[in-house]
A = this chain, B = another copy of it.
Amino acid sequence: MDTPSRLPPSLHEALTGRFGTRFTTSGAVCEHHGKDESSHAPMPPDAVVFAQSTEDVAAAVALCHAHKVPVIAFGTGTSLEGHLLAVKGGVSIDLSQMNRVLAIRPQDLDATVEAGVTRKQLNAALHDTGLFFPIDPGADASLGGMAATRASGTNAVRYGTMREAVLATTVVLPDGRIIKTGTRAKKSSAGYDLTRLFVGSEGTLGIITELTVRLHPLPEAIASAVCAFPDIAAAVDTVIQTIQLGIPVARIELLDTLSIRAINRYSKTALREAPTLFFELHGSPAGVAEQTEALRAIAGEHGGMDFEWAHRPEERTRLWQARHDAYYACLALQPGARSITTDVCVPISRLADCIAATRADLEATGLTAPLLGHVGDGNFHMLILVRPDDTAELEKAQAFAQRLAERAIAMDGTCTGEHGIGLGKRKYMAREHGEAALSVMRAIKQVLDPLDLMNPGKVLPD
């Protein structure tokens, strides 16, 4: 049953007329669209439109624009920085029904999808083509959402992030006009790079409704491995040397002792409880064999123990399932806890220093926070476990997270490697970019969305 609408009556009427039952002000639906996987308290929109085409999105955006009502794009709700929260109310445009794979072009190694297609759905559609879409942020997020937050994940060290993956987009502008950015050419020097401007803009400049992404040939051979180290520094040094030697690892993930303990409990594994690297190698059989030997040698030099290789698909799946379950495994360390998840990324030469300083800081706070990350890129997360009702602990955790973000920025890194700015990290924007660069971002926002209707209250500080 619809609750009384907080939208202007004429907008309510127009949206009802255009979308029928695909427009709703139902409290439950709005609740669902006003929260994500962050620790921010939910802020529901006033209404939700279920779009089924770019034209639907354009119509909804144009109507909201005419009524000066905010719009927020919604994919799968798995964002991590409060991106979806309707801080100024307005209409959430749910793109999950825009889930058609529009074209797969094996010859060109690209595919065009609607924004609501998830990465797993795309990979399922690629079955039998010999190709795959490598970017894997953990959650089965929508590709539109992944583009909007410039997502990446475990494979980025080899295959890049959404910045590299997106060739072209269809975007609905704040006034409802539809544009296309980029072409299917692999490279172009034709004017300003609008594709890269919309990728990572978190729905604040427009809504990505379709995108063309690069695909990659499935590797002939894959090998996965786990290796424990006497300490984190040894693991990090192994990573640095691997990258420097140009070994084309597809994944290289660090988990600290506490994360491994959590995984052992949660996934019933029997990994040595020590700082551990998870590797994956892609290539020809001979290439993978060569990389395997090189990695074994590097890890050995740094005291790597129990080097365990998994060549068979089911072994690999078990291994990576454990890695992917790490988030839930860590949460289970402290029943009832939720996690404040940090996401810094630093130049790899600073990674060991950054981790060491952060662990010392953590110890002083008494907080519990397993560490894991995509260390081949210098990107790591800490899951700070907090009891939702313990205000003092929450404040302590937030202060710790802030010191970590500032430490990363001071090391010429970033406050977010892959989660985005959303609501919570706007406070770091000036420090990371400087006021003058921030003023350029503001100018772009101002000229493209002068009424501040596109996901207001996100990315740019007030």
Contact = CB atoms under 8 A, between A and B. Distances in A.
Contacts of A273: none
Contacts of A284: 287, 290
A184 interface: yes
A189 B150 contact: yes
Contacts of A217: 244-246
Given A180-B433, A436-B178, A444-B444, A416 B189 contact: yes
Contact of A418 (B187, B199, B434, B460): B187
A156 B244 contact: no
Chain B CB within 10 Å, residue with most, of A179, A180, A219, A419? A179
A173 interface: yes
Contacts of A443: 447-448
A190 interface: yes
A164 interface: yes
Interface string A103-145: 0011111100000000000000000000000000000000000
B200 A348 contact: no
Contacts of A188: 150, 345, 414, 416-417
A120 to B, nearest CB: 21
Assembly stoichiometry (copies): 2
A425 B190 contact: yes
Nearest to A428: B190
A299 to B, nearest CB: 18
Given A177-B436, A183-B432, A244-B106, A149 B446 contact: no
6 contacts: A107-B240, A173-B440, A179-B434, A191-B441, A193-B199, A283-B287
Interface of A: 105-110, 149-152, 156, 160-161, 163-164, 173, 177-181, 183-194, 196-197, 199-201, 205, 216-217, 219, 240, 243-246, 283-284, 286-287, 290, 343, 345-349, 377-379, 408-409, 412-421, 425, 428-429, 432-434, 436-438, 440-441, 443-448, 459-460
A-B interface, 8 closest residue pairs, ranked by CB to CB distance from nearest: A217-B246, A196-B196, A188-B414, A107-B349, A447-B447, A179-B437, A185-B345, A184-B412
